[in-house]
Amino acid sequence: MRSMRNKPPSNETAKERFKRLATSRTNGVLKQLKVLGNCSNRSVYAYEEEDIAKIFSEIERKVRETKSKFHFPKSKEFKL
């Protein structure tokens, strides 16, 4: 259940809703990237360059996939 603090205004426009959610979700992604960066401390963690390449290859693939959704949104219905 949502707390009252997180309840969006009932008269919120689609643009306002997008800005609110996109800002929050972007900040969440950025925070998680910062947390991932903490794993770079070689005095605490052991890793190979191959591990880093796999991690960032997957992150970059997902960024491209997500970005493409904004440019080429999927159709909601079949059209012939």
Q: In this model, does residue 7 exceed pLDDT 80?
A: no
Q: How far is CA 39 from CA 26, 53, 61, 69, in A?
A: 21, 14, 20, 30
The CA-atom distances, in angstroms, between 79 and each of 47, 56, 75, 76 are: 49, 36, 8, 9
- In the three-class reduction of DSSP (H, G, I as helix; E, B as strand; rest coil), residue 57 is classed as helix
| Residue 32 within any structural domain of the chain | yes
Rg value, the chain, Cα = 19
Number of domains in the chain: 1
Whether 9 is covered by a domain: the verdict is: no
Domain span at residue 25 reads 14-71
Give per-residue pLDDT as tens, 20-67: 999 999 999 999 999 999 999 999 999 999 999 999 999 999 999 999
DSSP assignment letter at 39: G
